[in-house]
Amino acid sequence: MSASPNVLVVDDEPGMLRYMKTVLELDSYKVSTAHCGEDAIQSVRDGAAPDLVLLDLVMPGIDGLQTLEQLRRLRPDLKVVMLSCVSDPSKVVRAIQLGAHNYLTKPFQKSDLDQIMQQSLRTAASTEPLGEVEELGDDLFFLAASPVMQKIRAQVKTIANVDVPVLMLGESGTGKEIVARLIHKSSARSHRAFLKVNCAALPTELLESELFGYEVGAFTGATRSKPGKFEQCDKGTILLDEIGEMSPNLQAKLLHVLQDQEFSRLGGRSSVKVNVRILAATNIDVQQAIASKQLREDLYYRLNAFTIKIPPLRDRKDEIPTLLRHFMTRFAESYARSPLSFSPALLEECQRYSWPGNLRELSNFVKRYLILGDEAWAIHELRSGTSSKEASSATQSAAGGLKNIVRNLKDEAESQAIARALEQTGWNRKQAAIMLNISYKALLYKIRQYNIGAPAARPAAFRAKLGM
């Protein structure tokens, strides 16, 4: 990029064009202007190559969104910042979906413009190095170590302050909660509460009281009133994980919260008003869930104001070496051990392996490798596709002695019994709970504890033990 970047300003207000041209030229930018979308498009079509376009959203003729779409079609790599005095989140969301790099709300201060210019024109090499880590608290972090994850981070940073629901789609273990936490941290709500609720972990009645709270006498044992997660999260952000597991009746109540930002506690007569940003995540096939009535279509469209699709690790293998080294550094510090290196042979096997458990499986693999310190074992595990549960048991046994061996054998037997019951009932968890003579809630907890997935998601070695 040249020392003096070229900036194209597109706005139908002559006063705004004069102001932008003056202040930007004082900062040594080379500035050209266009008073309508048609002129901007023709300018780029004729060969103009701006480093950045500042584009007004509302203009006569071709508006900002249509102009953005055509500019991006002409030059897919073109960076465009939208300028808008209209408080319409849906238009901002649409601009981001069309590829806008950022947006700036009119009227704005000179400092706001400076910040946007710096963010938009900085080079990837100097200010966004590959593998940049953003700490999120609770020992969680976001690592943009591949182009696709850098793009997701850019989307998050842009959508964070547009107060609309965000739906995160992706396989289990890809990092949906991490993305949700990054949205919260990057938003104006960052100093408020962030709460996560796993909708698959509780039966409907308990989930409803967990989300919305209850009054005295709402059910047997309700001896005092209790606020739910929505009240606890007022002015903050709530993540509804595994939203597709929520019952249709409860989905209807959630839809009411999305529409009106109010609800009633269980057993309550008055409404509770809240101001909560709702993020949702799921690993299900959304269209199939809608077709089977598992997910309400109207709720989906409410949650789908903006969607972030997080690809599985097998589709972003270029970031595996960076992730391996970063996890090794973190775990070595946590366990007070010297970090181990990854030889070319081990890195090659890590790149070849499909990582069905995604980031969760990769982090557990690094933890086991650090504790056992055996590269030959690590390579063999990857080549044979040994289940994470078996390898985890071996790791803990080596690290913890006889008591851990007994505990791990018990856990392994229990997890296999649960998996068999689920297979025999066609993955009907209520029937499986009855067969195992445990509560439905306990079964859901143990499914999560042992990370038991559907048959196709489990490694071959684990399926072989079940005779599958």
Q: Tell me the CATH number at 185.
A: 3.40.50.300
**CATH classification at residue 18:** 3.40.50.2300
How far from the centroid of its chain's Cα atoms is residue 436's Cα?
Answer: 34
Among candidate residues 70, 100, 122, the one where a domain is terminated: 122
Residues 452 and 348 in one domain: yes
Q: Give the chain's domain count.
A: 3
What the block records as the tokens of 110 is 């000179």
Residues 234 and 338 in one domain: no
- Residue 13's closest CA among 64, 89, 48? 64
Residues 38 and 152 in one domain: no
Query: Which pLDDT belongs to residue 464?
Result: 47
pLDDT tens sequence across 342-375: 999 999 999 999 999 999 999 999 998 998 888 9
Residues 160 and 276 in one domain: yes
Among candidate residues 122, 152, 170, the one where a domain is terminated: 122
Q: Which residues contact 38 (CB under 8 A, 6 or more apart)?
A: 61, 62
Residues 148 and 281 in one domain: yes
Residues 291 and 419 in one domain: no
Residue 182 lies in a domain: yes
Residues 237 and 365 in one domain: no
Q: Which residues of 181-198 are buried (b: 16+ CB within 10 A; e: fewer)?
A: bbbbbbbebeebebbebb
Residues 439 and 336 in one domain: yes
Question: How big is the chain, counted in residues?
Answer: 468
Residue 1 lies in a domain: no
Query: Which pLDDT belongs to residue 327?
Result: 92
Contact 388, 451 (CB under 8 A): yes
Dmax (CA) for the chain in angstroms is 79
Q: How far apart are CA 144 and CA 151, in angstroms?
A: 9
Q: How far apart are CA 248 and CA 51, in angstroms?
A: 49
Query: Which pLDDT belongs to residue 437?
Result: 79
Report residues of the chain scoring pLDDT below 50: 1-2, 123-130, 387-403, 405, 457-468
Query: Which pLDDT belongs to residue 125?
Result: 35
- Domain region containing 417: 317-465
Among candidate residues 122, 155, 174, the one where a domain is terminated: 122
Residue 251 lies in a domain: yes
